[in-house]
Structure 1
Amino acid sequence: MKFIRNARTTLSHRLAERRAHRRLSDELAAFRTAAERSELDLMLGRHTAAETAEIDTILSRQDAARRYTTAMHNA
């Protein structure tokens, strides 16, 4: 019984983390223009690299996806 309860708790935490990550990704995707990204970079600059690591990863992934989409449309 304890094993099943622990598994359910772990699964529940993973799902919550994924939802939070998805929400953060959606919020960060709203920063599209150069001015918006500059403003975001200024805000992030007030924090340590450890504090912003997840955000930096998401932004890098979103930038790469935008560059890929642009390149595919221009090809």
Structure 2
Amino acid sequence: MTRHTLSVKSLRTTMADRRAARRSRQSLERQLASYTSESDRIELDAILSRHSGAEANELRSIINRQAMDRLIRTGA
């Protein structure tokens, strides 16, 4: 294989990986969006408080962003 072929293949792999990661994140965001009540949020926060690391922080970030979006939409 030529160098050009390898870089095109690498680019395609990278793009496919990014698309898969984006689909996975969108699915996670849809699942988390279903937790809308205050009791749901408290339960999620309790679950996340038992975990540390980047994954828990990513989930908190999604949950907080969704809560802010709801507040903005409702004007509350």
Report the counterpart of residue 64 of structure 2 in structure 1.
60
TM-score, length basis structure 1: 0.89
Percent identical among aligned pairs is 35
In the alignment, structure 1 segments of 5+ residues that lack a partner are none
Residues 37-65 of structure 1, C-alpha deviations (whole Å, 9 max, x = no match): 11111111110143311111111110111
State how far apart, in whole Å, the 2-side matches of 1:67 and 1:49 are.
27
TM-score, length basis structure 2: 0.87
State how far apart, in whole Å, the 1-side matches of 2:14 and 2:53 are.
28
Equivalent of 1:42 in 43, 46, 52: 46
In the alignment, structure 2 segments of 5+ residues that lack a partner are none
CA RMSD of aligned residues (A): 1.2
In the alignment, residue 59 of structure 1 is paired with which amino acid? I
Report the counterpart of residue 25 of structure 1 in structure 2.
29
Larger gyration radius, structure 1 or structure 2: 2
Identify the range of structure 1 (6-15 vs 59-68) with the bigger mean alpha-carbon deviation: 59-68
Displaced runs of 4+ in structure 1, greater than 2 A? Answer: none
